[in-house]
A and B are shown apart, each in its own frame.
Chain A
Amino acid sequence: MSEYIVHILIQICITSALAVSVNLLAGYCGLVSFGQLVFFGIGAYSAALLASHGYTVVWAVALLLASGGAMLQAWGTAGLKRDDFALATFALNAIFWMILQNWVGLTRGPMGVAGIPSIELFGLAFAGPLTFWIIALSLLVTCFVVAHRLVTRPFGMAMRMMRDDEELAESFGRNTWRLRRDTMVVASVMAAAAGVCQASYVGFVYPGSFSPMESTLLLATVIVGGLGRFWSPLIGACIVVCFPEVLRLIGLGSAHTANIRQILMSTILILAILQNRILHRRSLFGQQER
């Protein structure tokens, strides 16, 4: 395999892992979260700041910070309706983005952090794309296995019940707040792990990758594949990662590829909502009506 193909595959794996975390919340719980990019950013910046200074506890710190952040998010958003929850997580994303841009002393602001060393696991350095491919694939498989175990057990049934009718779930004795919290913690850990991998692989992080606009793109990634379907994150990630490459292959690649990608994904987001409403007479995010 050429290094180019491996590079694309690694990007698909990392994006899929992040999308799995969004799918768990939006697809199975009906909680449209723009906050997953925050946890992705926590992972990426933990790797960037710790690894650059020679610390080797990147994974532990990133995952702990993400879990703590998810607990706080669950506590802060307890009792919020779906649209309020979406708005609150959108604000959370905006706050995180502003901190990354403005706390120059810590994050180097818009310049970003460069020269992040490669990941080390059990003393082994994963430097080149071919060796890093093992890490990315392991991450993806782990995320899918965890997601599978969650959604095929009573926990997953409770998640779907909460998505379709939260009051009904509560009257069946489900603690929906705890359900939300646990799902958020699992999803945030997945996102943070993907962030660590991304920072370590690319070797550079900057605030632009964690903006609220990118969050919209991430949500669209899952919706493209089919929200609430198990393999949708993988399908969506393939489309999102390969789209710029296809543009480049047919000679349309330019500095504006990112803009075109955002336009396309936003259009798909609108069409997906319309398609569900017009053809299937139901909501994209569960069966609750206004």
Chain B
Amino acid sequence: LQFAVNYLAYSCTVLVLATSLFFQYRLFQFFDLSVGVVFLAGAYTFVLVAGFDMSLFCKIMFSVAVAGAVELVIIGGVIRPLYRLEILPLELMLVTLALYVISLNVFALLFGDELYRPSIATDSDIIHFSSFVMLDAQLGIAVLAIANIALIGLLLRYTSFGRVFRALSDSYSLTQDLGLLTLPTIALFVGLGALFVGAVGALTSADIGVRPITAFPYVLTAVGAFLALGGQTFRGVVVGTFAVTAGSQIGGFLFGEQWRELSMFVTVVLLLLVRRRYQWSIP
């Protein structure tokens, strides 16, 4: 059962990142690797405010606000202007990768390479169940992921923003020509994605601590989860995430924790091969 709890916390973290990647890919047709920057911004802000005299909720909200501001700068200052210049998706991906590398090194310069972990006693209490234990940060991540699925699912399915999002996914320029609300829709989905990533960064920091390289395995797994089932629908991203993380956890369980990430890659490759062979996708 403890294994299942750890799997759940890991999957939920990856799901939140994969959702953010999904938004960026559907809106701008590229892999936004700068999602790692937003994650680190949330995580390190939480480390900084962990010692402040305020409630845990306020600390997380403050971290989320900083992460949102970072995303705003990246989207408004870099991605959208470049997209308007008709930059290639490959170049956009490289720019975001470079941004991630810059941020990683800036955090390393500011905080060092070592693990920062806010005091568990004050920030993340252990909840004892009959046959397993769970940190409240892990519980928070799980709640966050459920809220993420519910909110995004409802927005995409039942609101006009969801329709504009789908229109933007099909053709950015046509949606603009039709006079649909493109900017608010982009702001809503990208902003939501960033806020969730910032929050999950803060909670991960409370759960296992943070170091500059912490975001990297999560981002890699999220990209794999996004790709595994085609990344065309939000449902596909959710199913893909749980499939890929299950593969990685089982690999880690069978062959040792150190092979967990490699098992993730193997799972993604297997899923891609199956999809290619049977032309199968999540509707």
Contacts and interface: CB of A to CB of B under 8 A. Distances in A.
A168 interface: no
Interface in A101-123: 101-102
Contacts of A91: 220, 223-224, 265
B154 interface: no
Given A91-B220, A259-B105, A269 B94 contact: yes
Given A86-B94, A259-B108, A99 B85 contact: no
A213 B262 contact: no
Given A32-B94, A216-B101, A290 B262 contact: no
Interface in A237-290: 256, 259-260, 262-263, 266-267, 269-270, 273-274, 277-278, 283-285, 288-290
Contact of B95 (A82, A95, A273): A273
A256 to B, nearest CB: 6
Given A91-B220, A270-B95, A285-B91, A83 B101 contact: no
A125 interface: no
A290 B109 CA distance: 37
Contacts of A284: 91
B242 interface: no
Interface centre among B29, B82, B224 (most CB of A within 10 A): B82
Interface string A214-256: 0010011000000000000000000000000000000000001
B106 interface: yes
B89 A290 contact: yes
B101 A98 contact: no
Interface in B46-99: 82, 85-91, 93-95, 97-99
Interface residues of A, number: 36
A102 B89 CA distance: 33
Interface residues of B, number: 34
A88 to B, nearest CB: 10
A179 interface: no
A212 B101 CA distance: 10
A256 B261 CA distance: 28
A194 interface: no
Interface centre among A83, A283, A284 (most CB of B within 10 A): A83
A87 interface: yes
A94 interface: yes
A269 B98 contact: yes
A263 B106 contact: yes
A259 B223 CA distance: 25
Nearest to A212: B216
A285 B102 contact: no
B165 interface: no
Contact of B98 (A266, A278, A290): A266
- Per CB-CB distance, the 8 closest pairs between chain A and chain B, nearest first, are A266-B98, A102-B258, A83-B90, A259-B105, A266-B101, A269-B98, A83-B89, A266-B102
29 contacts: A83-B30, A83-B89, A83-B93, A87-B31, A87-B93, A87-B223, A87-B227, A91-B220, A91-B224, A94-B220, A99-B262, A102-B259, A213-B101, A216-B97, A216-B98, A256-B109, A259-B108, A260-B105, A260-B109, A262-B101, A262-B102, A266-B101, A266-B102, A273-B94, A273-B95, A277-B85, A277-B87, A278-B85, A290-B88
